[in-house]
Amino acid sequence: MKSFEPAYRGLLRSGELAERARSAHAHLERCDLCANQCHVNRLQTINSAICRTGESAIVYSHGPHFGEERPLVGRFGSGTIFFSRCNLHCLFCQNWEISQRGEGREVSPEELAAMMLELQELGCHNINFVSPSHVVAQILAALALAAEQGLRVPLVYNTGGYDSSEALALLDGVVDIYMPDMKFADSATALKYLQVHNYPKVNQAAVKEMHRQVGELVLDKQGIARRGLLIRHLVLPENSAGTEQILAFIAQEISPDTYLNLMDQYRPCYRANELPPLDRRLRRSEFQVARVQAGKHGLHRLD
C-alpha cells in the first residue's frame, strides 16, 4: 500500500469527479438517491421527502471520533461528519435526536468541504460520512471542492444500508471504504421497525454492489483501513434481526473474509419501550449465540 491514493483523486484529475457532482445534483430534481425513491423535487420542497432534507445538507457535528472500528480509528481517530435526518425511521434509533428530530444546521458545499479539510489537518485517518444516503449529491459537490484543495484521505460511507443503485453508481470510484449496516433479514420485521419497504432485498443488493466496487477490507502496516468493505450487524433481543440469516448471506454471497463488526451494544432508545422484545437490553447469552453462528459460517474477521 506504499503508493495508496484515494479513488476520488483519479476522478479529480480526469474531470469525472466534477461531472459526478453535477449529475448527482440533477438527481435532486426527482430524487432517487436512496431506496425510498421519493421522486420529490428537493430543490423546491422538503415536505414530501422522506428524509426531509432539501438542497443543503444538515450537519449535526464533525470531529475526530475514537469509538469506531479499530481499522478506522488508529491513533488519530476517524474524521466523522454526522449528517442530520435519515432515509430510515428506526423506532429504536440511538441517535434519534439527530436522525428524526433533525438537530443540526444547514451547510453549504464550501462549508462541508472545509470540514473535510479540517479533519485531514487534524490527522484523522479518513473522512467518515455518517448517515450519508440522503445527501449523496451534497457530499459529491463538497468533495469536488475539497479534493481540488488537497483532500487525500480515504472516504468512509457509513450507511444504514438502504442505498439505491443510482446513488451507488455515482459513488463508484469515489468511496474507498463502504461500511453498511445489515439490520434485518425479514422484510415484514424491517417494515415494522425501520418503516421502509423491502429492506432486506435492497440492503443485500447494495452490499453486493459495494463489495464489487471495493472488495475485501485492506489494511496498511499500521492496521489502518485503506479500501474495502466493512459490515456492521447489531444483534437484537430474541433474534429479532434474523442474525443467522444475515451471517449466512455474508459468508455465502459476499465472502467469508468479510470484515464484520458483530455488535452487542443494543439498548432501548427512542420508541423501543413500546416494542417488546426491543424494550430490554441484549443478554450476553444472546450475543454468544451470534458469535457461535458467525464461526459456524466461517466468518473470522470480527472487529
Count of residues making up the chain: 303
The number of distinct structural domains making up the chain is: 1
The CA distance from 52 to 87, in Å, is: 9
Q: What is the pLDDT of residues 57-113, one digit of tens each?
A: 999 999 999 999 999 999 999 999 999 999 999 999 999 999 999 899 999 999 999
Containing domain of residue 121, as a range? 7-21+57-302
Q: Rounded to two decimals, what is the model's pTM? A: 0.97
Residue 141 lies in a domain: yes
For position 2, what pLDDT does the model report?
57
Does residue 239 sit within a domain?
Answer: yes
What pLDDT is attached to residue 211? 98
- Tell me, what's the pLDDT at 285? 98
> Using an 8 Å Cβ cutoff, are 303 and 260 in contact?
yes
pLDDT > 90 fraction of the chain, expressed in percent and rounded: 96
**Which residues, at least 6 apart from 54, have a Cβ–Cβ distance to it below 8 Å?**
42, 43, 45, 46
**In the numeric block, which cell numbers belong to residue 94?**
440511538
Q: Is residue 31 part of a domain?
A: no
Residues in contact with 194: Cβ distance below 8 Å, sequence separation at least 6, in sequence order: 88, 89, 90, 91, 162, 183, 184
> Does residue 26 belong to any structural domain of this protein?
no
The mean pLDDT value for 279-303 works out to 97
Write the CA distances from 109 to 81, 100, 106, 113, 219, integer angstroms.
13, 23, 10, 6, 30
Average pLDDT of the residues in 170-199: 98
pLDDT digits (tens, 9 = 90+) for 136-172: 999 999 999 999 999 999 999 999 999 999 999 999 9
Please report which confidence band the pLDDT of residue 26 belongs to, taking 50, 70 and 90 as the band edges.
very high
Q: Are 180 and 161 in contact, with CB atoms under 8 Å apart?
A: yes
Rounded to the nearest integer, the mean pLDDT of the chain is 96
Q: What is the CATH number of the domain that holds 76?
A: 3.20.20.70
Question: Residue 74 is placed in which grid cell?
Answer: 488508529
* Per-position DSSP letters for 171-203, written without gaps between them: HTTT-SEEEEB---S-HHHHHHHH--SSHHHHH
The answer to whether residue 167 sits within a structural domain is yes
User: Quick one: pLDDT at residue 45?
Assistant: 82
Structural domain includes residue 27: no
Residue 142 lies in a domain: yes
Is 1's pLDDT higher than 50? Answer: no
